[in-house]
Amino acid sequence: MKPRRGTVTKMNDLTQRFETMAALIDEASVLLDAQSKVVAANAKALDLLGSHIIGFPLDRFLRHPDFAEAVRAAHQEDRLTTLDYTRMDQVRRAFSLRLARFDDAHVILLLLDGTMGLSVDRIRSDFVANVSHELRSPLTALLGFIETLQDGAVEEPDSRAHFLSIMEDEATRMQRLIDDLLSLSRVEAEEHRTPDEAVALQPLFEELVSVMKRAAEKSNKTIAIDIVPELKGAELQVQGARDELRQVFENLVENAIRYGRPGSEIVLRIGVGRLAGGQMREDLLRVQVVNQGDTIAPEHLARLTERFYRIDKGRSRQMGGTGLGLAIVKHIVNRHRGRLRITSEGGETTVSVTLQRFN
C-alpha cells in the first residue's frame, strides 16, 4: 500500500524544516518521534552514531538512564532537558545532550561535543603534576652550577667551560621536554577529530631516512625501507595527517637509534594490515619499525606509552629521552583510529602501526 500523497508532502515539509534548523545550529542533530524513533538526522549525527539509526529507536544506539524521561518531558511538557553523556569509542568523548519539542509530534536532539574542553582541563592538571617533577632535576642542576660560577669558578677557564657545557645540556633537555609537552597537548586536544588526507608512505619514509641518516651513522647504525613483495608497485596511501604521521615514525626511528645495538640495521617495513586477531585486511596497511637491541621485559611493554614511563630512568635521560615520545605516538595513532602494538623478543623490538588505507 503506497503512502498517501498528503502524508508524503507533510513528511517532506517536516524533514525540510529539520534540515534547515540543523544547518543553522551546525551541531549533530537528530529528529525523534514520541517513541524515540529516529525520523531524520544530519550528516554530523550520522557520522557519530551511524547511518543505520534511521527508523529505529535511538536508545538502541545511545544509552543513558534518563534518556526516555527526557524525550517524554520534551514531548509532553515542552520542557528543555540537558543530559551529560560519555561515549566510549576508540577514544573517550563527552557530550551534552539537549532535547526540546520540535512540533506536536516530534522532539529534536542536539549532541554538543565537549570533549576538547575536558581534554584541555585534564592536560592542564597532568601538566602541573608531571612537569613540576620532570623540571626539578635540570633546574636544580642549573641553579647549582650558576651558584658555583658566582662563587668564583667563573674566573677558572677550565671549570667555567665544563660547567657551561653541562648547563647547556640541562637547558636543552628542558627545551625538548617543553616541545614534547606542547606537541602532546595539541594532539590530545584534537584526538576526537579523525584526519582525512591522503598520505603516501613511501615518499614520507624516503624523506625521513634522508633526514635521519646522519644521526643513525653517528650511532653506527643504518636505516632501510622494506616493502613486502605483494605491495611492491602498489599505491601505498593511508588516511591521515602527514605531519603527524611523520612525527610518529620520526619518534620511533629516534628511539631505535637511541636504544638499538651499534652496528645494527633499523628497518621501516610496509605490509598488509592485520586485525587484532591476526586476520589480513586489504583495506589496512601496517608499518613496522624493527630494531636490534636489548629485549624489553613483558611487564614493561604494556606501560611504554604512559607519559614519563621509563624502563631505565638514568639511561633514558642520559640519552636525551623525555619519556613522552611513545605517549605522543599513541595519541596520534588513536586520532588516526589506528592500532599500535609493541613486541620484543630475542633482542629484536618491533613497533607496529596499523592504519586505514586511503580509498
Per the model's pLDDT, the better-predicted residue between 70 and 172 turns out to be: 70
- Look at residue 128 and tell me whether its pLDDT is greater than 90: no
Per CATH, the architecture of 115-193 is what? Answer: Orthogonal Bundle (1.10)
10 pLDDT band (50/70/90 cuts)? low
Strand ranges inside 149-217, DSSP E: 197-200
User: Class of the 5-113 domain?
Assistant: alpha beta
> What are the φ and ψ backbone dihedral angles of 118, each rounded to 5 degrees?
-65, -40
Highest mean pLDDT among 122-131, 136-145, 223-232, 303-312: 223-232
Q: How many angstroms separate the CA atoms of 195 and 324, rounded?
A: 22
**What is the rounded distance in angstroms from the CA atom of residue 195 to the CA atom of residue 58?**
27
What letter does residue 273 receive in the DSSP assignment? E
Separation between Cα atoms, residue 97 and residue 100, nearest integer Å: 10
Segment 225-256, tens digit of pLDDT: 999 999 988 889 999 999 999 999 999 999 99
CA 288 to CA 277: how far, in whole Å? 17
Please report the DSSP string for 216-280 in residue order: HHHTT-EEEEEE-GGGTTS--EEEE-HHHHHHHHHHHHHHHHHHBPTT-EEEEEEEEEE-TT--E
Question: Which residues are CB-contacts of 249 (< 8 A; sequence separation ≥ 6)?
Answer: 204, 205, 208, 268, 287, 289, 353
112 has which bridge partners? 96
Return the exposure string of 243-273: e unless at least 16 CB atoms fall within 10 Å of the residue's CB, then b: ebbbbbbbbbbbbbbbbbeeebbbbbbbbbb
Least confident of 38-47, 124-133, 168-177, 318-327: 124-133
**What's the CATH code, domain 194-359?**
3.30.565.10
C-alpha–C-alpha distance, residues 107 and 72, integer Å:
9
Q: Do residues 322 and 223 touch, judged by C-beta distance below 8 A?
A: no
Residue type, 12: N
Report the distance separating Cα 33 and Cα 40, nearest Å. 10
Contact 111, 48 (CB under 8 A): yes
Does the structure show a pLDDT above 80 at 212? yes
Domains 5-113 and 194-359 share a fold: no
Q: How confident is the model at residue 25 (pLDDT cuts 50, 70, 90)?
A: confident
- Residue 164's SS3 state is helix
Going by DSSP bridges, is the β-strand pair 265-274/280-292 parallel, antiparallel, or unpaired?
Answer: antiparallel
Give me the helix-helix angle, 115-150 and 157-189, nearest 10°.
180
Residue type for position 270: I
- At 118, list the grid cell: 575536558
Give residue 211's pLDDT band: very low, low, confident or very high (50, 70, 90): very high
CB contact at 8 A, 86 and 80: no
Q: Is the separation of the CB atoms in 82 and 109 below 8 Å?
A: no
Q: Is the pLDDT of residue 7 over 70?
A: no
Domain ranges of the chain: 5-113, 115-193, 194-359
Cβ atoms of residues 111 and 99 within 8 Å? no
Reduced to 3 states (helix: H, G, I; strand: E, B; else coil), residue 26 is: coil
Is residue 330 a contact partner of residue 183, using CB atoms and an 8 Å limit?
A: no
- Sheet of 81-88: strand order equals 38-41, 28-33, 106-113, 92-103, 81-88
Mean pLDDT of 321-327: 81
The CA angle 216-219-222, to the nearest 5 degrees, is 40
Give me the amino acid identity at 284: L
The pLDDT value recorded for residue 315 is 56
User: Which residues, listed in sequence order, are joined to residue 224 by a DSSP beta bridge?
Assistant: 267
Confidence of residue 124 (pLDDT cuts 50, 70, 90): low
